[in-house]
């Protein structure tokens, strides 16, 4: 699993690792999710709106991670942790403490415990941050950039 995460070259490939990890550890799976990038308040890295098939990530966070000089495994582990959190929420788990506990379980059992694990662990432990009035009252403006080839596990070519 770790090798697949390190070799992942796109958000879709990282998400495939997330889905496989969740299925192996928690025994659940969901298909047909989409990923959109948009500008969110700085403290909000991503969100999933209950009842939708959409995970929304902060465009600034993704850009800064992908352009950083950190090793690919660290960057991918960080993105993995963000997507993992939102993927678990997409199953209807609403309590953030429960989402955090499930995320840590998946992380521990699939990535092990070293620097990449520590980076992802810190992300999960701190997520979601204490949100202020601005973040709690933030309204999405509908200007999304959909990520192509994000969750293709259950799509078929029709020709």
- pLDDT tens for each residue of 18-28: 999 999 999 99
On whether residue 43 sits in a domain, the answer given is: yes
On whether residue 34 sits in a domain, the answer given is: yes
On whether residue 11 sits in a domain, the answer given is: yes
Q: Determine the 3-state secondary structure of 37 from DSSP.
A: strand
* Residue with the larger pLDDT of the pair 159 and 61: 61
- Whole-number Å distance between alpha carbons of 30 and 52: 12
On whether residue 154 sits in a domain, the answer given is: no
On the question of pLDDT at 134 being above 50, the answer is no
Tell me phi and psi for residue 126, to 5 degrees. -95, -5
On whether residue 157 sits in a domain, the answer given is: no
On the question of pLDDT at 133 being above 70, the answer is no
- Which whole-number Å values give the CA distances from 62 to 12, 67, 112, 117, 137, in the listed order? 13, 9, 24, 19, 22
- Which whole-number Å values give the CA distances from 45 to 25, 58, 63, 86, 153, in the listed order? 24, 5, 12, 10, 25
Q: pLDDT tens across 11-60, in order?
A: 999 999 999 999 999 999 998 899 999 888 877 888 888 888 989 999 99
On whether residue 153 sits in a domain, the answer given is: no
Domain total for the chain?
A: 1
Q: pLDDT tens across 85-130, in order?
A: 999 999 999 888 899 889 989 988 888 766 655 666 666 556 555 5
Prediction pTM value: 0.84
Residue 28 structural domain: 2-146
On whether residue 122 sits in a domain, the answer given is: yes
On whether residue 159 sits in a domain, the answer given is: no
Work out the mean pLDDT of the chain and round it to a whole number: 81
* Mean pLDDT across 59-66: 90
């Amino acid at each position: 699993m770790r090798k697949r995460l390190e070799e992942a070259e796109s958000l879709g490939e990282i998400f495939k690792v997330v889905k496989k990890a969740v299925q192996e550890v928690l025994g659940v799976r969901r298909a047909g999710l989409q990923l959109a990038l948009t500008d969110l308040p700085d403290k909000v890295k991503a969100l999933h709106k209950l009842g939708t098939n959409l995970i929304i990530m902060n465009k600034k966070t993704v850009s800064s991670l992908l352009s950083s000089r950190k090793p690919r495994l660290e960057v991918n582990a960080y993105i993995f942790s963000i997507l993992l959190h939102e993927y678990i929420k997409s199953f209807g788990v609403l309590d953030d403490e429960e989402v955090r506990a499930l995320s840590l379980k998946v992380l521990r059992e699939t990535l092990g415990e070293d620097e990449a694990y520590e980076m992802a662990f810190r992300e999960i432990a701190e997520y979601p941050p204490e949100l202020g009035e601005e973040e709690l009252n933030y309204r999405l403006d509908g200007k999304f950039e959909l990520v192509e080839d994000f969750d293709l596990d259950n799509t078929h070519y029709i020709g």
